[in-house]
A and B are shown apart, each in its own frame.
Chain A
């Protein structure tokens, strides 16, 4: 069936470096994509979203890139901080659906 997946289950990054978390999606009908951050014991927290008519969107220290040709989504975090340690999920949906499909998640580990 349709699915959203991630390339790496765990990513270790030096504090202060940039982090890049990747995600592949398979539903070509998806037109809205979201990145969530989930800290231990908490619910997912919205980070940034992007619609299929865009290929890049920037927030505060975060950038999401969308490549529809290869069905690839990435989250870039600039100047990674200890507070960025969490599991990051990409998710997809479309205007024709009423559910969000989450990927399995990537754990971001910050090295001191």
Chain B
């Protein structure tokens, strides 16, 4: 497809489990962003990649959150030892080049931690 895809769409984890969320950006897009969206709230920035370089990870809420984009394309957001407060929709977005290029969002992964 031509858009940003994310998998899985839904993930249920028991507290303490590790999860990995995948993002496939639009082909050729240099920039990739991860956001966390709590119910009824706007997305909140987590981290940003330009190609394989993670240029900003200031939004990651704790050291349990880790993101990578080793080949400058697919990205994975990993959450270790999940907690109930991690329950949210995790959105991925990509843009052609710089931040002020239009960001195209994927459908998100809804994570529920029991």
Chain A interfacial positions (CB closer than 8 Å to B): 4, 32, 36, 41-46, 49, 89, 91, 93, 95, 97-105
Contacts and interface: CB of A to CB of B under 8 A. Distances in A.
Contacts of A49: 102
Contact of A43 (B40, B56, B58, B106): B106
30 contacts: A4-B42, A32-B100, A36-B105, A41-B107, A42-B108, A43-B4, A43-B105, A43-B107, A43-B108, A44-B43, A44-B91, A45-B105, A46-B102, A46-B104, A89-B43, A93-B99, A95-B99, A98-B48, A98-B55, A98-B99, A99-B33, A99-B45, A99-B58, A99-B99, A100-B45, A100-B99, A101-B45, A102-B44, A104-B40, A105-B41
B101 to A, nearest CB: 10
A112 to B, nearest CB: 25
B51 interface: no
A46 B107 contact: no
A102 B3 CA distance: 21
A92 to B, nearest CB: 11
B42 A104 contact: yes
Contacts of B93: 43
Interface of B: 4, 33, 35, 40-45, 48, 55-56, 58-59, 91, 93, 99-100, 102-108
Name, among A44, A46, A103, the residue most crowded by chain B CB atoms within 10 Å (CB to CB): A44
In the A-B complex, list the 6 residue pairs whose CB atoms are closest, starting with the nearest: A43-B105, A102-B42, A99-B45, A44-B105, A98-B56, A89-B42
B53 to A, nearest CB: 12
A86 to B, nearest CB: 13
A100 B41 contact: no
Nearest to B104: A46
User: Which one of A42, A43, A99, A104 has the greatest number of beta carbons of chain B within 10 Å?
Assistant: A43
Contacts of A101: 45
Contacts of B91: 43-44
B56 A99 contact: yes
Nearest to B44: A102
Nearest to B4: A43
B3 to A, nearest CB: 9
